[in-house]
Amino acid sequence: MDMKKRKLSDIGEFGFIEKIKDDCHFNLNGLVKGIGDDCAVIGPYDDSYLILTTDLLIEDIHFIMDQINPVDLGKKSMYVNLSDIAAMGGSPLHSLVSIAVPQSAPLEILQGIYQGMKETCRNYGFNILGGDTSASRDRLMINVALIGEVPQKEILYRNRAEKGDKIYVSGPLGDSAAGLKMLKGEMKPSGGNQGYFIKAHQLPQPEITFGRGIARSGLANAMIDISDGLVADLGHICQTSGLGARIYQESIPLSEELKKLSTEVNFDAYELALYGGEDYKLLFTVPAEKASLLEEQFKDGQNGHLYPLGEIITGNEIRMVLEEGREKVLTIKGYNHFL
């Protein structure tokens, strides 16, 4: 296809990242990891790495102004970044906040966004150190850049899974995707539990404490957060580690609310759990011989729960053992903002 006529929607976000990720490094001093994981990694400084991430939220792409209140929008803009910090096993330290706001917007919207951000800073013990505030013509845009830290020996990457590792996830999947469908009007349940799903979508709690627990244990090999969907993000672990995975449908954790909803509205809850995205749970792999030790450490549930999903295998496929026993290869398709 003629380059001049190609659009981003033709190659997608991941295709574009592949295109631009070369020739990005001209200072190797303190550079540990560039593009390719949940966070970039620099250091070490005093036996810790600093980890860096950034996320954009764009009006009418990531959120609809009428559907989310400004305080929750401020929280979500922090949460999606906190989840990247959690995925490396880190804790947040400092953020920079950029906001472009329509010239005509009432001040209380901006104040609400900052209120939500500051509440998040307070709850997770980190700072807003600066930023940029600008007018926009007609749509709101928030970018947060977040710096965290993680002890050098505890950092977890996505590309270190090994054959035989057990795969775990930190919580039920699919609720966020159901909430998004309700917001889009694609799913209209008659029951009164819509708020639960919309909250799961708009305020996915970042798993900082859980991630620190996994990292501190020193037992895991690889970790990632589920932003693109279970299959897509397990795909990232597999692809970067040069391996495949086998998961068991009956092991995929679903909330009671999602099970009930899927009966009421008649849809496949597993489809949402596998491909929905934006759950922001942590997905990680643990050598089989260390799995029982880790499960022992988490059995009181105080730092979260472990949900085993399956195991890392050779090859380059993600296979799922269905409830009836048959095995099928899952197609990796993630959420793509350009499609």
**Residues numbered 145-164 forming contacts with its own copies, rule: CB under 8 A:** 145, 147
Query: Could you say which of 65, 67, 69, 131 contacts its own copies (CB under 8 A)?
Result: 131
Q: 194 to each of 60, 68, 266, 267, how far by Cα in Å?
A: 21, 14, 15, 15
Strands of 244-248's sheet in order across: 222-225, 282-286, 166-169, 307-313, 244-248, 318-321, 327-330
Q: Residue from 65, 67, 110, 265 that binds its own copies (CB under 8 A)?
A: 110
Distance CA 180, CA 202 (A): 9
Which region among 90-98, 238-246, 302-310, 313-321 touches its own copies (by CB under 8 A)?
A: 90-98
Report the first-to-last Cα separation within the chain, whole angstroms: 18
Decide: is 337 part of the binding site for its own copies (CB under 8 A). Answer: yes
Find the part of the chain contacting its own copies (CB under 8 A) among 121-129, 174-182, 279-287, 311-319: 121-129
Minimum Å distance from CB 339 to its own copies?
9
Nearer to its own copies, 104 or 190 (CB): 104
Q: How many positions of this chain bind its own copies (CB under 8 A)?
A: 82
Q: Region of 150 please: left (phi>0), alpha (psi -120 to 50) or beta.
A: beta
Helical spans, DSSP H, in 242-287: 256-265, 269-275
**Of residues 187-216, those binding its own copies (CB under 8 A):** none
Q: Which residue has the tokens 């499609």?
A: 339
Residue 326 near its own copies by CB under 8 A: no
Taking CB under 8 A as the rule, does residue 30 contact its own copies? yes
Complex with its own copies: residue 52 or 167, whichever CB lies closer: 52
Binding test (CB under 8 A) with its own copies, winner from 69, 112, 128, 239: 128
Which CB, 51 or 273, lies closer to its own copies? Answer: 51
Site for its own copies in 38-67 (CB under 8 A): 39-40, 42-43, 45-46, 50, 52-56, 58-62
Contact, 337 vs 13, CB < 8 A? yes
Residue 182's nearest CA partner among 109, 120, 264, 113 is 264
129 binds its own copies per the rule CB under 8 A: yes
Rounded CA-CA distance 61/176 in Å is: 16
Q: Which of 66, 103, 296, 325 binds its own copies (CB under 8 A)?
A: 103
Does 3 sit near its own copies (CB under 8 A)?
Answer: yes
Q: Is 313 in the site for its own copies (CB under 8 A)?
A: no
Does 98 sit near its own copies (CB under 8 A)? yes
Residue 174 half-sphere exposure, CB side, CA atoms within 13 Å?
Answer: 20
Long-range contacts of 241-244 (CB under 8 A, 24+ apart): 241/158, 241/159, 241/160, 241/161, 241/162, 241/312, 242/316, 243/161, 243/162, 243/163, 243/312, 243/313, 243/314, 243/315, 243/316, 244/312, 244/313, 244/314, 244/315, 244/316, 244/317, 244/318, 244/319
Nearer to its own copies, 248 or 335 (CB): 335
Give the nearer residue to its own copies in terms of CB position, either 106 or 218.
106
Encoded one letter per residue, x for contact with its own copies by CB under 8 A and - for no contact, window 69-88 reads --------------------
Backbone φ and ψ of 225, nearest 5°: -100, 155
Per CB under 8 A, the list member of 18, 106, 314, 323 interacting with its own copies is 106
Nearer CB in complex with its own copies: 21/259:
21
Question: Binding its own copies by CB under 8 A: which of 94, 160, 260, 290?
Answer: 94
Q: How far is the CB of 60 from its own copies (least distance, A)?
A: 5
